[in-house]
Amino acid sequence: MTRGLFVAGTDTGVGKTVVTAGLTGWLRDAGIEARAVKPAQTGYPPDDDAGMVAETCDDADAATCLRRLEPALAPRVAAEREGVDLSYEAIREGCERVLSEPSVEAGIVEGIGGLRVPLAGDREVIDLVADLDLPTVVVARSGLGTLNHTALTVSALERRGVEVPAILLNEYEGASVAERTNPAEIERMTGVGVETMPQLDLSDPSAAIGGLRDAVDEWSPVDAVGD
């Protein structure tokens, strides 16, 4: 398969799509043909993470979604309620197919909710992460409560043999003691480098892509997919 990254979250709504859009745009600006992949989208419409990434990158080919489901629930539950077949093997093979396309130099696979979200059958999001065997960036909240969720997420990934090159704390303001001390504490707990990023505006592509690039100091997706 092609080079790539997985973007995993500690929960839903932590900023995976913002990071996916920023990383995809960053790579494309660097001359690397990157494509984001959303394995399954629930809550569609109105939620459309792949569409948001494509719009941010100003290119319909910048992102693709393998399966869309209307209920805003875990994919397995949403499929069951709609009476549709959602096969884990089809999702995994679909991701592998996109990542293997000759025109794709780097794939950015965006997760669904947190790692233990039921994906299809008896498989969860973490199973897809492990099967795709991509280095995984963890996106987490910045404020109070993030220590436990972030450390558990990193531990779960490492137990499955998944490399975690970076943790991104989203919507960082440094307004509280918890926010200001969380980055160093998470690094101590996990041994993984932590980057902080402000809230990015996806309606402004240059702000979303440039904002992530400006915020991240010690890690680069260009280096991560360049091996």
* Residue 61 assigned to a binding site: no
Is 43 labelled as part of a ligand binding site? Answer: no
Write the DSSP assignment of 15-65 as a string of letters: SHHHHHHHHHHHHHHTT--EEEEES-B-STTT--HHHHHHHHHT-GGGEEE
Measuring CA to CA, which residue among 11, 15, 53 is closest to residue 168? 15
Partners of 167 in the β-ladder: 138, 194
Q: Is 152 annotated as a binding residue?
A: no
| Helices 49-57, 205-215: inter-axial angle, 10-degree rounding | 90
Is there a binding annotation on residue 91? no
14 is in an annotated binding site: yes
Kindly give, in sequence order, each residue whose CB lies less than 8 Å from that of residue 174, ignoring residues fewer than 6 positions away: 180, 196
* Closest among 10, 1, 62, 33 to 202, alpha carbons compared: 62
Return the closest-CA partner of residue 174 out of 190, 195, 196. Answer: 196
Catalytic residue among 3, 28, 38, 92: 38
Instruction: Tell me if 161 is assigned to a ligand binding site.
Output: no
113 labelled binding-site residue? yes
191 is in an annotated binding site: no
Is 211 one of the annotated binding-site residues?
A: no
4 annotated ligand-binding residue = no
- Does the annotation place 173 within a ligand binding site? no
Structure tokens at 27: 């790579």
Q: Count CB neighbours of 51 within 10 A.
A: 19
Annotated catalytic, 38? yes
**Numbered residues of the known binding site for substrate:** 42
**Numbered residues of the known binding site:** 13-18, 42, 49, 110-113, 170-171, 198-200
Q: Give the active site residues.
A: 38
**Numbered residues of the known binding site for Mg(2+):** 17, 49, 110
**Numbered residues of the known binding site for ATP:** 13-18, 49, 110-113, 170-171, 198-200
